[in-house]
Amino acid sequence: MPQVRNLTAAFREELEAKKGKIIISQYSDINREGVYSDLWLIVTTRFVEVYQYKKDTEEFDLQVSFKWEQIRSVKQQNLVGAGVLEATTAEDLVVLLQYSNTYTRDFNYVAKAMEKLVKLSEAEKEGFIFHSFKDSGKQYCKKCGRLIPEWSDSCPACIDKGAILKRLFAYAWPFRKQLIILTILMLGGTVLDLIPPYLSGVILIDKVLGSKPENGIQLLLWVVIGLFVTQFLATAFAVIRGRMAAWLSASLVYELRKKTYESLQRLSLSYYDKRQTGAIMSRVVHDVNRLNNFLIEGVQYFLVQILLLIGIGAILFSINPKLAFLVVIPAPLVVFLSFHFWKYIWKLFASFWHRNSKMTAVLNDSLSGIRVIKAFAQEEREIDRFDQKSYELYNASVQAEQTWATLFPWLSFLLTLGSLFVYLIGGRDVLLGVATVGQLVTFMNYIWRFYGPLQFLSRITDWLTRSLTSAERVFEILDAQPDVVDSPNAIRLPQIKGDVAFEDVFFGYEEHEPVLQNISFNLSSGQMLGVIGHSGAGKSTIINLLCRFYDPTEGRITIDGVDLKEIAQQDIRSQVGMVLQETFLFNGTIAENIAYAKPSATMEEIIRAAKIANAHDFITAFPNGYDTFVGERGARLSGGERQRVAIARAILHDPRILILDEATSSVDTETEVKIQEAIDRLIQNRTTVAIAHRLSTLRNADKLIIIEEGNIIEAGSPDELLKKKGHYYNLVMAQEISKKEKEVAASNEQSA
């Protein structure tokens, strides 16, 4: 068996020195004779070579070598139990190397990368970045080539932080008048806050208590009145500002959250395939709130702190320039250190928010599937799973907060060093009679107010990091583009007939893993198509494509002869109805769930649809009838009851094309009969695509297709397929035997 899975550093250096920069180094486990060996495909900017590792000599032996100029194309060929990588040269078709099925996916990516490299110059090859299948689903920055972290859709190294700030302010622009008023109120409160130190220092201590003038009582009264007025006005300003900020904050959060949710609703299903629900919820809830705090409180506070710093600095220099100079000496060092740690702290807090989203996602999964957890007694497993994510969040939180907790006190210490010099020099001046006690007290009061803005500026990295990280995560949603979009000249079909055709359709959720291959069939308006196949064969994918949740990789799908890509999505989905195996009901009343597809429906229409769906009797048996709440995901109803509510919803929707996905697979026989009766009424005069394991459900189908591993292996009417005695015939016979065995078993049980 193979032993060496990594190239030695010395060998890599030697190769790059002689052959050019290594672009791809892919391991293979068998040689051309099919014997297990250690081989390496090495692709550099100038050569394509294969080396075999010799265990006895511990050397890499060159087996195949081609210059890029000799190669015209590269392709992967899958054989039985193995595969080969082939290169077409000017003279011949050459096997570069062989590999076992273990490495099929690796060489699938290698072949595609080499096909691109064939067309590139040596200089262009230098900048080529190879992504293996292990990186499938991962994103790389188009600008710098770095791997984009899984918590982000953009490259942290290349993100334009200035552009993020500019964009954030654009969201606040409609509220600019209120923001200006808030800023004025905050400035007014700040100015009022600067008056008490002067009144209680120079005026009270030096001119009243220290000098003891004849009108000292009167002056003392005026000082107290002045302190009262300033504090009263500051409080009034704070109340007004607080009330306005509360309104503005709620308004801005509403607008941001609304835009974010609108963007989520317009994205394609492929966006949600790659992300956890809890992580998306975290962005809509927590990150939007953080942006609100940044825009409403943070920006104003930042501006006020800057002005406060300038204002107090001017006052300090006017009182005592020498002492003021001592105060500001540490400031440049503090600002420098703050910006020096910016990038490092940014990464720590970005990781923290990513872990928080992961934990929220696990929490959402477990709460949504609590019944399954209880049913399989997996509480401890879920506790461990949550504990793992919670512990990862704990580690990220500790690392981020401890880093800042270490940095910030030292920055504060550097700032307060100036106050020690002020005590020393200022105290000496008072003792020598150069300065008064009131001046020193006033100066010290202003110093502590001066340090506040300085400390805020030292924490600006923390503030901006948290805010811009949240902004980036929210903007990723706002900027995400749906994969499935209407064409610029989309055709409107407000009333389709229902003719459906799949023409040589290929599709895969992942590029290298096709799910459907060469699927073709026609369905006339009003006909019913039955789709049969084992789990994973591609049945549900046909439905996804017909609803245009995804677009085919190759081929086309038409409705009434028009390519699905050319029809407005609204016209497609408004005329397609679905009854799925896993029926989803919203947490509302039965009537609301039936009327979901037609909110304007009258109660009479809802009841009529329920009767057709055989749902009216069990609904009216509830004490609250149609006003009965179904609970989370319809938990208060049985599986059969949920199915009949879903059928009633589809009946009320009145679609031209109906999709049934295992609509009777998880119910008892009696319920199945009722559901089947409802389905028989529902499919009348509609084009229907039905997926079912129970072949009895498809007895009225006009056509059947049997799918296996993404290919149609049989097609025709039920009678035609029975006569062929092929795959469909075997399935029918197997189900008949199973049915008879169950009947015999039931009969024996009753006799006993």
Distance separating the N- and C-terminal Cα atoms of the chain? 60
Q: Which amino acid, 469?
A: T
Report the pLDDT value the prediction gives residue 49, as an integer from 0 to 100.
92
The C-alpha atoms of residue 705 and residue 538 are separated, in whole angstroms, by 12
Closest CA to 631 of 621, 620, 644, 641: 641
| Contact assessment for residue 671 and residue 640, using Cβ atoms and an 8 Å cutoff | yes
pLDDT, mean of residues 715-719:
86
* Cα–Cα–Cα angle for 697, 505, 523, rounded to 5 degrees: 45
What whole-number distance in Å separates Cα of residue 532 and Cα of residue 538?
Answer: 10
9-135 folds as PH-domain like (2.30.29)
**Contact by Cβ (8 Å): 566, 487:** yes
How do strand 59-67 and strand 47-54 relate by DSSP bridges? antiparallel
**DSSP, residue by residue, 551-588:** --SEEEEEETTEEGGGB-HHHHHTTEEEE-SS----SS
Reported as a single tens digit per residue, the pLDDT across 616-652 is: 888 899 888 888 888 777 778 887 788 888 888 888 8
Across 12-21, 30-39, 186-195, 215-224, the highest mean pLDDT is recorded for: 12-21
Among candidates 395, 384, 176, 142, which has minimal Cα distance to 296? Answer: 176
> Strand pairing partners for 708?
711
Measured between alpha carbons, how far is 20 from 123 in angstroms, rounded to an integer?
11
Nearest of 515, 547, 572, 532 to residue 693 by alpha carbon? 532
What digits encode the pLDDT tens for the residues 136-171? 555 556 565 555 655 455 555 566 667 777 777 777
**Distance separating alpha carbons of residues 581 and 161, to the nearest angstrom:** 47
- E strand or H helix at 40, and its extent? strand 36-44
Q: What percent of the chain has pLDDT over 70?
A: 82
Question: Which of residues 283 and 346 earns the better pLDDT score?
Answer: 283
Q: Do 436 and 253 contact (CB within 8 A), yes or no?
A: no
Please tell me the least confidently modeled range out of 11-20, 433-442, 489-498: 433-442
| Helix ranges restricted to H, 62-103 | none
Task: With residue 246 as reference, give the H or E element that holds it.
Answer: helix 216-266
For residue 154, report the phi and psi dihedrals to the nearest 5 degrees: -135, 160
Residue 724 is predicted with a pLDDT of: 86
Tell me the pLDDT tens digit for each residue of 645-692: 888 888 888 888 888 877 655 555 666 677 677 777 777 788 888 887
Q: Which CATH superfamily is domain 500-725 in?
A: P-loop containing nucleotide triphosphate hydrolases (3.40.50.300)
* φ, ψ (nearest 5 deg) of residue 185: -65, -40
Q: Which pLDDT does position 39 carry in this prediction? A: 87
Taking residue 448's Cβ as centre, other Cβ atoms within 10 Å add up to: 12
> What mean pLDDT comes out for the span 585-604?
85
Q: How confident is the model at residue 320 (pLDDT cuts 50, 70, 90)?
A: confident
Enumerate the β-bridge partners of residue 27.
40
Residue at 304: amino acid letter = V
The better pLDDT of the pair 741, 215 is held by 215
Q: Which two tokens stand for residue 645?
A: 């509510």
**Worst-scoring range by mean pLDDT, 6-15, 55-64, 414-423?**
414-423
pLDDT at 2 over 50: no
Q: Among 37-46, 135-144, 345-354, where is mean pLDDT lowest?
A: 135-144
List 83's β-bridge partners, or say none.
78, 99
Q: How far is CA 240 from CA 177, 246, 285, 477, in A?
A: 15, 10, 27, 35
Tokens linked to 163? 């552009």
Cα radius of gyration (the chain)? 37
pLDDT in tens, 434-491: 777 877 888 887 877 777 777 676 666 666 666 777 777 777 777 777 777 888 888 8
Residues present in the chain in total: 752
Write down the pLDDT at residue 419: 74
- Nearest alpha-carbon partner for 500 in 445, 450, 439, 563: 563
Instruction: Compute how many other C-beta atoms are within 10 angstroms of the C-beta atom of residue 560.
Output: 16
Cα-based distances in Å from 280 to 168, 179, 247: 20, 30, 26
**Token pair for 729:** 């015939």
CATH 3.40.50.620 fits 163-479, yes or no: no
Rounded CA-CA distance 338/595 in Å is 58
On the question of pLDDT at 750 being above 70, the answer is: no
Tokens matching residue 602: 């009258």
- Residue 435: both structure tokens together: 């300065």
Confirm whether 163-479 and 500-725 share one CATH topology.
no
297-302, long-range: CB within 8 Å, 24+ apart, which pairs? 297/245, 298/463, 298/467, 299/169, 299/172, 299/179, 300/179, 300/182, 300/183, 300/186, 301/186, 301/456, 302/456, 302/460, 302/463
pLDDT, average across residues 722-734 = 83
Average pLDDT, the chain: 79
Q: Domain locations in the chain?
A: 9-135, 163-479, 500-725
Quick one: pLDDT band at residue 59, thresholds 50, 70, 90?
A: confident
**Residue in 303, 291, 290, 308 with CA at minimum distance from that of residue 180:** 303
- Which of 326-335, 583-592, 728-737 bottoms out in mean pLDDT, i.e. has the lowest? 326-335
Q: Which of the given ranges, 32-36, 376-380, 453-457, 703-707, has the highest pLDDT on average? A: 703-707
Is 4's pLDDT higher than 50? no
Q: What are phi and psi of 160, to 5 degrees?
A: -90, 95
Looking up tokens 């500790």 gives 398
Torsion angles phi and psi, residue 654, rounded to 5: 55, 60
Q: Please give the residue that has the higher pLDDT: either 212 or 155.
A: 212
Averaged pLDDT for residues 196-225: 76
